[in-house]
A and B are shown apart, each in its own frame.
Chain A
Amino acid sequence: MLHYLLVFLAGLAGSVHCLGMCGGFACALGRDPRGAAATLRRHLVYNLGRATTYCFLGVTIGFLGLLLCGHEGEASTVSLAQRILAVVSGVLIVFAGLQFFGFSLGRWQGLSASGARLLTRALGRLLKAPGSGAPLAFGVLNGLLPCPLVYAFVAQAAGSGGPLPGFLTMAAFSLATFPVMLMMGGAGLWLRSRGAAGSSPYSGAAALIRTERRQQLLRLAGGLIVLLGLITFARGVMPMSAHVHGL
């Protein structure tokens, strides 16, 4: 449980990162003409779609990890493959975490930028479509947007040892992003109703949190993610006896 709590906290801190792009989407999703409850449902459905994609990624990658390593306990010791997987995913997580401190891999950035462009073009249209199918589809596709935060937790899920831990890891992460995303949706509505959003609710909402505060939160998130990575990495290289129960 401690492990998932750590994931949740890292996700919560890291969700400040969501303000940048996904927050804008949440703002733009706007209001349902049928009232406040319908509007809330619209935003919840959107986040459900997003969470589904994350959980699917978690389960799939966990399942692949399982296929690669076999069931835990089948072998007398944790298999070599599982250790290698832990090391690799640990390194990936650390890398993803370091991004929050300003380290970046140029090519990866370019790749994620072009992927984002492609998806945002598709997503832009969905935002304007009425009904609750649209926010769901929007959320599902939104979940596929390239994002270092998601990559970090997917890597975590890969090393988690099975579909269920993978699922729980990503579920914890998804839940952690809910508050910020719902808040952003609300902020978008509020700004819009006051007409203070200027040309786009996007920039208005992002301005709600001061840049320095955002920087601090991002560093905190990065620190937590790097910690997660180091723990995962350690599972791969430390002797069996040193394994901390629950982590």
Chain B
Amino acid sequence: MSSCSHCLLPLGRLAQQREVNGEPHHFCCYGCCLAYQVHHGETDEPEAAALLIRLGVGGFLAMNIMLFSLLLYSGTFGPADTWMVKLVHWLLWILATPLLVVLGGPFLRGAWQAARQGHVSTDTLVSVAVLAAYGYSAGQVLSGTGAVYFDTATMVLVLFMLGRYLEARARVQAARSLAPMLAAERAQVRVYADGIDTMQPLRTVEAGTVVRVLPGERIPVDGVVLEGHSECDEAILTGQPERQVKAPGATVHAGTVNARGQLLLRATAAGNATRWIQISRLVQEALARKSSLGNTVDRLAAIFLPLVLLLAVATVVFWSARVPLGQALLTGLAVLVVACPCSLGLAASLATTLGIAQAAHRGILIRGGEVLERLARVRTIAFDKTGTLTQGRPQVVDLWIDAAFEHEVIYRTAALARTSEHPLSTAIAELARERGVSASIAKHAQAYPGAGVAGEVDGQLVAIGSSAFMSALGWEMPLAWSHARNFAGASFSHEQESAIEANPTHASHTLAFAGWAGRVRARIALADKLLPEADKTTAVLRERGMMLVLLSGDRETVVASTARALGIPTWRAQLLPEGKVDALRDLARQCGPIAMVGDGLNDGPVLAAASVGIAVGAAADLARESADIVLPRRALDSLPWVLCLAARVRRSVLVNIAWALGYNAIALTLAVAGVLQPVVAAALMAGSSLLVVGRSLRAHRAYAEPVAAADAVEAGAGLARV
């Protein structure tokens, strides 16, 4: 995807192509083209100098024109000096002609480009205004009568150019936080080979390439640390604010920032196959997608611009019957100039871009402005349970032992557990790892589906399974445990959720038994624990007045107890994926748009069916996901922040549009009424764009603070911008 070389935002319809320092560059607008050349001219000589010469010569001509025009206006030349006035008029014409070429060229080219594509652009308005002022004034000079308006044409050009330049600079500031992400594919990598470092493009990096990363730089590849110790800021991928310690052997991820020491890495994947590049592409796509408000604005502008041309003509016709033609023409020019809907075009895109950028910095991916718009309207949030609000796998929460040592129990069960992939086995193996018990592997292990598993550990038969399995083996159960015969115990099957039966007293617990040498020696309670952040998140959302719903495929008792624990009033259990979709549609009919939060892999259909699908932590398959928003793993608690962001962006867009429309409406009315001088109109127009940009930036700055630290690291290290 091509993006603007200056602000890195996607190219629009009226993209410009320039060759700067021998390389082709694309710019989304003339302002970016200007700003890029001025900025890069500091290091790159000839072309930037050419631009500066253009500006300087333009400035020379404009200043002379203004100088003589001001002398004329102030009545310096009395009635006796008519020949002098005529001379000055000729002089102005002579000065204005090269100016039209030097400063007006880009606008005329833009207008021509738009005309060839069959539409009217803001460049068209500026060009028509300037050419009209110039043509009329030239006629006046030839006929030797009346006033000339070369200064108007000049000032309109100068102000518009200044306005575009400032706007482009402001936009870059807005997109600055996104710059490293958008430029990821164009990054240069310090490749270490044969004792020397060379800078190479990222795409040439392959698995096995050795790369050096200096402190403060962004790590360009996924890899393993060969040398060096450092800490990495991985917030952009994981959302975790704490720095992660990296020592030789540690894995590092592209996109994270190397905070402290120099690292030598061996790439484990090709440079353009990392998740970071994938994110970069997704964000670029997201930015390229016009939000529906943005589309509306575009359609409005498409109708608005030709109307403005007509309105300007009508204004001239109307006023020419009442005042001298020159004055009528000026009024028409003011209409043209003031109606440039530059600020309207910026209103939606800028706020949205800022929102997406901020989210991206927390590792949150948002697929386009439209998602944010939809999310801002959501009042109901549906959650999936397993893996979203809970860990997604059972854990050992309690262990009762009879006639054995704890160490022994863990050792033997873990040895047996290592032979099976079952969630219960995994939980036991994890317990062993936590307690630091290293187990061997059981021999002759055999799984009995729906019942348990048995095998030989150190020459002795060991079994884990339901109470029924224990009785089938004929093993004696301690009296206290056998009271609860009706526990039914744990059954071993591949359908984890449907087959594991619950302890009726602790709805979400599951019990398993283990034993050897003729008796049951351990009772193991397993549960899928709630995520620590789940409680806080649901509490915050409830406080915000969100309606919460739990949709799960799990058994009713388990779902009900989870809902109770989290204070979720509405829940539906034992839903198949299609059932979830139906339940969601039912709810949507009652409560309007719903956001669905799921784990992304299993919840694909329901995420796609929701107004906004939010996937948590399933980063593995980003591109294939049907989610609109992807939160990093363990970052459920950033959900309230995202909702807040969506509301803020929507508000910002609406306020921007209101400002732009109101500003234009008032200015246009004044212009039609003949109150506004074209020069003032041009200044007002440039002002409105800057106003919108400034508003958006200010509105977002308050929220950008947590990110500022990461930016500072990057800026401080002087990381090369691409």
Contact = CB atoms under 8 A, between A and B. Distances in A.
B63 A53 contact: yes
A163 B53 contact: no
Contacts of B193: none
A68 interface: no
A182 interface: no
A243 interface: no
A163 B64 CA distance: 13
Interface residues of A, number: 29
Interface residues of B, number: 26
A134 interface: yes
Contacts of B55: 137
Given A129-B46, A139-B60, 17 more contacts: A49-B60, A55-B67, A56-B66, A56-B67, A63-B73, A125-B42, A125-B52, A131-B53, A134-B49, A137-B57, A138-B56, A140-B59, A140-B60, A141-B56, A163-B74, A163-B76, A164-B76
A136 B54 CA distance: 10
Given A49-B56, A162-B76, A164-B71, A140 B50 contact: no
B29 to A, nearest CB: 22
B41 interface: yes
Chain A interface SS verdict (over half): helix
Contacts of B71: 59, 163-164, 167
B402 interface: no
A41 interface: no
Contacts of B53: 126, 129, 131, 133-134, 136-137
A239 to B, nearest CB: 27
B540 interface: no
Contact of B64 (A52, A63, A126, A141): A52
B546 interface: no
B60 A52 contact: yes
A128 interface: yes
Contact of B45 (A49, A53, A125, A140): A125
A53 B55 CA distance: 13
B interface, by DSSP: helix, strand, loop or mixed?
A: helix
Contact of B67 (A49, A59, A121, A162): A59
14 contacts: A53-B59, A125-B41, A125-B42, A125-B45, A125-B52, A129-B53, A134-B49, A136-B56, A137-B56, A139-B60, A140-B56, A140-B57, A163-B71, A163-B74
A122 interface: yes
Interface in B26-52: 38, 41-42, 45-46, 48-50, 52
A162 B50 contact: no
Contacts of B60: 49, 52, 136-137, 139-140
B302 interface: no
A60 B66 contact: yes
B323 interface: no
Interface of B: 38, 41-42, 45-46, 48-50, 52-57, 59-60, 63-64, 66-67, 70-71, 73-76
Interface of A: 49, 52-53, 55-56, 59-60, 63, 66, 71, 121-122, 125-126, 128-129, 131, 133-134, 136-141, 162-164, 167
Contact of B49 (A56, A60, A126): A126
Contacts of A162: 74, 76
Contact of B52 (A56, A60, A131, A137): A137
A128 B63 contact: no
A125 B54 CA distance: 13
Nearest to A53: B63
A137 B76 contact: no
B45 A128 contact: yes
A155 B357 CA distance: 47
A94 to B, nearest CB: 27
A192 B183 CA distance: 45
A56 B57 CA distance: 14
B36 to A, nearest CB: 15
Contacts of B38: 122
Contacts of B74: 63, 66, 162-164
Contacts of B75: 71
A162 B74 CA distance: 8
A44 to B, nearest CB: 14
